[in-house]
Copies of this chain bind each other. A is one copy, B any other.
Amino acid sequence: MTPVTFWFEFSSPYSYIAAERLRAAHLHAPQVNWRPFLLGPILKAKGHDPAAFDEGSPKRAYMWRDVERLAEKFAIPFERPRIFPQNGLMAARIATAFPNERWLVDFVCAVFHAAFAHGHDIAEVETLHDILDGMGLPTEGLIEEAEQPGTKKALRDATAEAQSLGIFGAPSFTVGHELFWGQDRLDDALDWARHIHLP
């Protein structure tokens, strides 16, 4: 069984849907690596303003209705956020600093819930404090570690790696050399991992 890498961005509602679906499926899924990255620098490199892109457009309006329907379909709590896109930098650094902790997936999903189910601002350090405290973790030490230069570099490197893999949107899944874009492709990515073994 080939490992799957799940590339997610905390500001992306479709990443939230994918994270919830993946967590719900985890008992039967192939090995999945949860990798945070930043979509902003990739969009900026293409000349797009990540915040303004699609703002006020039919595509943006469609996205929210689409996410609402998907959330209902998969029984995932969802509330359209007041702030969009949110700045997920600090959350991404925390997730980057602790890739092998057993609490990683719970933390990631809690951040997504804060942003897309509870209307909290995940750019605020208090929001992240509350999440880590609520999980019974040593919040101060974790946030300090997340702010170390090595962690910042690791997140920049992850973003560069995502870009080098041809990733241009979130969420994305990589299975060997195959790239799948969008929560729509989650099942296809898992099927690819289950049936195709790289040499």
Name A residues whose Cβ lies closer than 8 Å to a Cβ of B: 46, 57-59, 61-62, 65-66, 69, 73, 163, 166-169, 178-182, 184-185, 188
A57-B46, A62-B179, A181-B62 given; A69·B188 CB < 8 A: yes
A57-B46, A184-B184 given; A166·B73 CB < 8 A: no
CB distance from A66 to the nearest CB of B (A): 7
B-chain residues with CB within 8 Å of residue A166 when the two chains form the complex: 58, 61-62
A57-B168, A167-B58, A168-B57 given; A66·B181 CB < 8 A: yes
What is the copy number of this chain in the assembly?
A: 2
Q: Tell me if B188 and A73 are in contact (CB < 8 A).
A: yes
In the complex, residue of chain B having the shortest beta-carbon distance to the beta carbon of A180: B66
A179-B65, A188-B69, A188-B73 given; A168·B59 CB < 8 A: yes
B-chain residues with CB within 8 Å of residue A188 when the two chains form the complex: 69, 73
CB distance from A196 to the nearest CB of B (A): 11
With the chains together, A133 CA to B62 CA distance in Å? 41
Q: With A62-B166, A62-B168, A66-B181 given, can you name 17 additional A-B contacts, CB distance below 8 Å?
A: A46-B57, A57-B168, A58-B163, A58-B166, A58-B167, A58-B168, A59-B168, A59-B169, A61-B166, A62-B179, A65-B178, A65-B179, A66-B185, A69-B188, A73-B188, A182-B184, A184-B184
